[in-house]
């Protein structure tokens, strides 16, 4: 028997003997654990909300930019808009009058047609507030004369205005692209620095610290219309991005460290679930009937301030630091024990404390894991590579492309323009429901099946979607089938590639490497997001409906890597997962013994 196997057996015997002596610990959901998860994932909710908040009010925000950067042009545009509206109304009135007049005077018209024409002329008379139908023609001529006189100066400058409009539209597109990209750049910075925030402040204080970015971003966007400064909105999106990037590193780490092994999957999915709920809430509040208006859009973008304050105060006053961080990082066994007792609602936490103490002894003997160590240490390299593959697969599987195409597909399916917002809401609702379904499944079926099987479905789904998009000009049925493909993809993404990559990285690394691994993996996730954001419009223009075949190839490669290199982590300790990557054998236990071990282990 090797030295490693001796050590594994020693740990196993200590844990199972402790369980036999004291009885199994409480490794089920407790009210306190559930409330703790809900509290910290307000950060995830805020991140998701900020992803979806700008979708529906985008035209309003662009208008705000133009109004302040090109005030003279904006005022002119309002004048031309009013003039064009008057011209359009007058043209419609003249057309309606001439049509009814011709029908009434035509010898070929029957009595019914003449009666309808007379009714039309009477309605026109009432609309113009005239005493008789005979006055309509003179009134319309007078309106045309006045309109020509008042609009002559504007019409003379319309060519100049149109030239300026081309330049303003180009600048508007550029500044909006920069604003969108800065959110992603902020996410990259937040993800990369999450390790240092977590190591310097600790898990709990790090989460509280990162909420300062939410407060700053909300205040900036809230005051933007009053100080008439578009830069406030731009900087706000950048700051919101930093919060989102940090939350992707801090929240999965904390959730992983407060959960027993058998609930680690469910608690890990709560992060992604709250992200999807945040997106859905933002889509809902962004409706034109609610906050998607010129007067309320800045309040819509500042809403994260509310859950931020609630989450920060609740975490600060009622919930503990991660027990693993307390014991392994701080060496405070008493505080770790007290925190575990509250989370488990049980005094019997000695087995978990001993397991943490054993890990603490291993990590204390080594220097702190740096970002460089993740690539140079053989025991960490493969866990990192598989984690990076999952992050890249999540961003490059086509989720952004689906949402990019969805509005156009909805229009082609004859969905009214005013109803498209509800169709977009439906996709967000399906995303939330399927993520909820994933919560109980992930600890029953395991991580790997929920990754592989939905991704295989996605491959066939994208092939069918490409076919249906190509044929949608042939009939309405193909547009409806395209919508079905979109829904199927969202369902598959929500149960697999959506939540699991975040959870997987938190599970596969021991305490001293976890924050560094999450930082580099989340940074990679955001880099992939930025690359796709900047390149996808050109890719879509080049390949048109065939763009989904690119994502099909990417998903296919990811499936092969997952099948060959990604281990199942359900109910396994960090030692077991690390042993898999290193090709070491771990002790084989009976079903009852394994249950005891997993009940008393936690990573």
The percent of residues above 90 in pLDDT, for the chain, comes to 26
Query: DSSP string spanning 316-345?
Result: HHH-PPPHHIIIIIT--HHHHHHHHHHHHT
Return the pLDDT at 354. 82
User: How confident is the model over 596-603, as a mean pLDDT?
Assistant: 38
Q: Choose between 24 and 226: higher pLDDT.
A: 226
Q: How far apart are CA 139 and CA 125, in angstroms?
A: 10
Return the pLDDT at 315. 94
User: How confident is the model over 58-84, as a mean pLDDT?
Assistant: 80
Is pLDDT at 564 greater than 60 in this prediction?
yes
Q: How far apart are CA 83 and CA 74, in angstroms?
A: 14
The string of pLDDT tens digits covering residues 215-225 is 999 999 999 99
Per mean pLDDT, which of 17-31, 53-67, 306-320 is the most reliable? 306-320
Query: DSSP string spanning 544-582?
Result: GGGHHHHHHHHHHHHHHHHHHHPPP-TT--HHHHHHHHH
Q: How far apart are CA 361 and CA 71, in angstroms?
A: 65
What does each C-alpha distance from 39 to 46, 52, 80 come to in angstroms? 12, 21, 51
∠ Cα 214 240 222 (to 5°): 65
User: Coil, strand or helix: which one is 403?
Assistant: helix
Lowest mean pLDDT among 45-59, 153-167, 246-260, 457-471: 153-167
Tokens of 109: 């018209």
Sorted by sequence, the CB contacts under 8 Å of residue 345 that are 6+ apart come out as 26, 30, 31, 32, 33
**How does the average pLDDT of the chain come out, rounded?**
82
pLDDT bucket at 362, cuts 50 / 70 / 90: low
Q: How far apart are CA 597 and CA 227, in angstroms?
A: 60
pLDDT bucket at 367, cuts 50 / 70 / 90: low
Q: How far apart are CA 153 and CA 167, in angstroms?
A: 22
Is pLDDT at 602 greater than 50 in this prediction?
no
Is pLDDT at 339 greater than 60 in this prediction?
yes
Return the pLDDT at 224. 94
The string of pLDDT tens digits covering residues 417-445 is 777 778 878 888 998 999 888 888 887 88
User: Coil, strand or helix: which one is 107?
Assistant: coil
Domain 369-571's class? Answer: mainly alpha
Per mean pLDDT, which of 1-5, 74-78, 288-292, 316-320 is the most reliable? 316-320
User: Coil, strand or helix: which one is 50?
Assistant: helix
∠ Cα 381 382 384 (to 5°): 70
Return the pLDDT at 38. 94
Sorted by sequence, the CB contacts under 8 Å of residue 439 that are 6+ apart come out as 266, 269, 270, 273
Lowest mean pLDDT among 151-165, 276-290, 482-496: 151-165
Domain ranges of the chain: 72-163, 369-571
Tokens of 593: 């013994």
Return the pLDDT at 216. 96
Is pLDDT at 594 greater than 50 in this prediction?
no
pTM here is 0.79
């Amino acid at each position: 028997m090797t030295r490693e196997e001796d050590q594994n057996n020693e740990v196993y015997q200590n844990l199972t003997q402790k369980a036999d002596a004291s009885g199994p610990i409480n490794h089920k959901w407790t009210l306190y654990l559930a409330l703790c998860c809900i509290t910290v994932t307000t950060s995830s909710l805020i991140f998701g909300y900020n992803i979806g908040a700008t979708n529906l009010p985008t035209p309003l925000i662009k208008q705000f930019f133009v109004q302040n950067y090109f005030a003279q042009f904006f005022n002119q545009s309002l004048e031309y808009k009013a003039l064009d509206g008057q011209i359009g109304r007058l043209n419609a009135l003249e057309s309606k009058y001439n049509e009814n007049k011709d029908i009434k005077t035509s010898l070929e018209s029957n009595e019914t047609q003449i009666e309808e024409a007379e009714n039309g002329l009477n309605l026109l008379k009432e609309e113009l507030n005239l005493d008789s139908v005979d006055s309509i023609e003179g009134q319309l001529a007078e309106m045309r004369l006045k309109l020509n006189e008042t609009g002559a100066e504007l019409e003379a400058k319309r060519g100049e205005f149109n030239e300026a409009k081309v330049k303003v539209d180009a600048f508007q597109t550029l500044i909006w692209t920069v604003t969108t990209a800065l959110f992603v750049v902020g996410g990259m910075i937040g993800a990369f620095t999450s390790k240092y925030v977590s190591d310097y402040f600790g898990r709990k204080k790090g989460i509280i610290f990162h909420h300062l970015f939410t407060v700053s971003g909300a205040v900036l966007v809230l005051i933007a219309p009053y100080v008439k400064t578009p830069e406030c909105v731009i900087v706000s999106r950048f700051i919101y991005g930093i919060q989102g990037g940090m939350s992707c590193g801090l929240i999965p780490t904390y959730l992983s460290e407060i959960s027993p092994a058998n609930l680690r999957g469910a608690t890990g999915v709560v992060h992604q679930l709250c992200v999807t709920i945040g997106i859905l809430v933002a889509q809902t509040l962004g409706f034109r009937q609610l906050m998607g208006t010129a007067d309320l859009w800045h309040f819509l973008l500042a809403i994260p301030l509310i859950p931020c304050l609630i989450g920060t105060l609740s975490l600060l006053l009622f919930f503990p630091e991660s027990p693993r961080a307390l014991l392994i990082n701080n060496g405070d066994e008493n505080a770790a024990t007290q925190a575990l007792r509250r989370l488990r609602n049980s005094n019997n936490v000695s087995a978990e404390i001993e397991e943490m103490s054993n890990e603490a002894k291993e990590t204390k003997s080594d220097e702190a894991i740096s970002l460089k160590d993740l690539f140079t240490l053989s025991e960490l390299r493969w866990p990192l590579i598989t984690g990076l593959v999952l992050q890249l697969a999540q961003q490059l599987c086509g989720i952004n492309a689906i949402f990019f195409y969805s509005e156009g597909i909805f229009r082609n399916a004859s969905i009214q323009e005013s109803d498209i917002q509800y169709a977009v809401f439906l996709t967000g609702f399906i995303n939330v429901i399927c993520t909820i379904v994933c919560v109980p499944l992930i600890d029953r079926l395991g991580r790997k099946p929920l990754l592989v099987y939905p991704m295989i479905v996605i491959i066939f789904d994208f092939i069918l979607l490409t076919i249906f998009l190509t044929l949608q000009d042939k009939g309405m049925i193909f547009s409806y089938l395209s919508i079905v493909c979109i829904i199927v993809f969202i369902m598959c993404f929500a149960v697999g590639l959506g939540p699991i990559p975040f959870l997987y990285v938190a599970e596969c690394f021991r305490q001293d490497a976890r924050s560094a691994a999450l930082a580099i993996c989340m940074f990679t996730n955001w880099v992939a997001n930025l690359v796709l954001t900047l390149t996808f419009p050109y890719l879509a223009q080049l390949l048109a409906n065939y763009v989904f075949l690119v994502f099909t190839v990417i998903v296919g490669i990811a499936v092969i890597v997952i099948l060959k290199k990604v281990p199942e982590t359900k109910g396994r300790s960090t030692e077991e997962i690390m042993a898999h990557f290193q090709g070491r054998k771990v002790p084989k236990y009976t079903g009852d013994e394994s249950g005891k071990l997993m009940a008393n282990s936690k990573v």
